[in-house]
């Protein structure tokens, strides 16, 4: 694994044990998975543009994303059942730690305004442009200009205070 995993396993988990005064190491909050989702209006208008987001997520995470389709028809959005809406990907274990290491090292320092949304153990971060990632920045002319997506970090066994302690230990500016 990488240094991010060792930092999490050896430093942060023992630190949380002492700070929260827990008796059992299994009751400590843990990272469950990281989900990346992207939805675009251009995918609804031109379904072939879903290939850009598929390719970008594949380059970014080294894992194949899944295509999301509409479950219901919505007249307000000109959306019919079965139309392509976006892509999503769930990262677990080694790929999750590799992505978080890349994210905290390269993307978080370059973001000007960071907004976190906390919903009981799930933190959501909106990324305004995919070109903050060094993997994708060399393909700037090939992708859509307004490629934004959402990163959801899911935490097990944690309320909002414990989740904030875990993420601040992982160098997330909350």
* Residue 23: per-residue pLDDT: 82
The reply to whether 174 falls in a domain is: no
* Residue 91: per-residue pLDDT: 93
The reply to whether 84 falls in a domain is: yes
**By residue range, what is the domain housing residue 93?**
3-169
* Residue 142: per-residue pLDDT: 67
From CA 108, how far away is CA 54, in angstroms rounded?
23
The reply to whether 66 falls in a domain is: yes
From CA 116, how far away is CA 119, in angstroms rounded?
10
* Residue 76: per-residue pLDDT: 75
Collect the ranges in the chain with pLDDT lower than 70.
1, 41-42, 115-117, 119, 137-145, 158
Q: What is the CA radius of gyration of the chain?
A: 18
Residue with tokens 């044990």: 17
DSSP string, the chain: --HHHHIIIIIIHHHHHHHHT-S-GGGS-EEEEEEEEEE-HHHHH-GGGHHHHHHHHHHHHSS--EEEE-SS-BGGGTB-TT-EEEEEEEE-HHHHHHHHHHIIIIIHHH-SS--EEE-SSEEEEEES-GGGSHHHHTTTTTS-TT--EEEEEEEES--HHHHHHHHHHTT---
pTM score over 0.75: yes
CATH code, domain with 119: 3.30.1440.10
If phi > 0 it is left, if psi is from -120 to 50 it is alpha, else beta; for residue 126 that is: beta
The reply to whether 34 falls in a domain is: yes
Number of domains in the chain: 1
The reply to whether 107 falls in a domain is: yes
The reply to whether 54 falls in a domain is: yes
The reply to whether 116 falls in a domain is: yes
């Amino acid at each position: 694994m990488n240094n991010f995993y060792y930092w999490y396993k050896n430093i942060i988990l023992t630190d949380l044990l002492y700070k929260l005064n827990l008796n059992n190491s299994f009751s400590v909050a843990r990272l469950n998975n990281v989900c990346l989702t992207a939805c675009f209006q251009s995918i609804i208008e031109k379904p072939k543009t879903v290939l850009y987001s598929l390719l970008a997520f594949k380059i970014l995470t080294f894992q194949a994303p899944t295509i999301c389709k509409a479950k219901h028809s919505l007249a307000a959005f000109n959306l019919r059942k079965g139309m392509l809406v976006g892509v999503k990907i769930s990262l677990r274990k080694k790929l999750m730690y590799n992505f978080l290491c890349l994210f905290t090292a390269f993307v978080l320092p370059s973001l000007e305004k960071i907004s976190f949304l906390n919903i009981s153990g799930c933190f959501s971060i909106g990324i305004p442009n995919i070109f903050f990632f060094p993997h994708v920045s060399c393909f700037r002319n090939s992708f859509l200009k307004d490629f934004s997506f959402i990163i959801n970090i899911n935490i097990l066994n944690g309320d909002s205070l414990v989740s904030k302690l875990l993420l601040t230990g992982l160098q997330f500016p909350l």
